[in-house]
Amino acid sequence: MTVSQIDSFVSALKLFKEPVFHPAKASVYEELGIWAQKYDRKDLALACAQAASDTDEAEAEFNRMCIGPYRLTVPPYESVWRTGRRVLNNRFSAAVQYSYEEIGLAVGDMNEPVDFFGYELEFCYATHAFASAYEKEGKTQEAELLREAASRFWAEHLGHWAGKFLEAMQQDARHPFWRAWAQALSELLTVQHKDIALSNTMSGEETTAVVQPPRSLHGTKDSI
Q: Look at residue 208 in the predicted model and tell me its pLDDT.
A: 42
Residue 56, pLDDT score = 98
Distance CA 221, CA 16 (A): 22
75: left (phi over 0), alpha (psi -120 to 50) or beta: beta
Residue 29 neighbours by CB under 8 Å, 6+ apart: 19, 48, 49, 51, 52, 55, 58, 177
Please compute Rg for the chain using Cα positions.
Answer: 17
Q: Are 114 and 102 in contact (CB under 8 A)?
A: no
Percent composition of the chain: helix, strand, coil (DSSP 3-state, to 5): 65, 0, 35
5-44 per-position pLDDT tens digit: 889 999 999 999 999 999 999 999 999 999 999 999 999 9
- Interacting residues of 24 by C-beta distance below 8 A, sequence separation 6+: 55, 56, 59
* Residue range 76-89, pLDDT digits in tens: 999 999 998 888 88
Q: Which residues contact 71 (CB under 8 A, 6 or more apart)?
A: none
> Residue 223 pLDDT > 90, yes or no?
no
Quick one: average pLDDT of 198-213?
66
Closest CA to 182 of 196, 195, 193, 171: 171
- pLDDT tens profile 174-187: 999 999 999 999 99
Distance CA 143, CA 219 (A): 24
DSSP 8-state secondary structure symbol assigned to residue 119: H
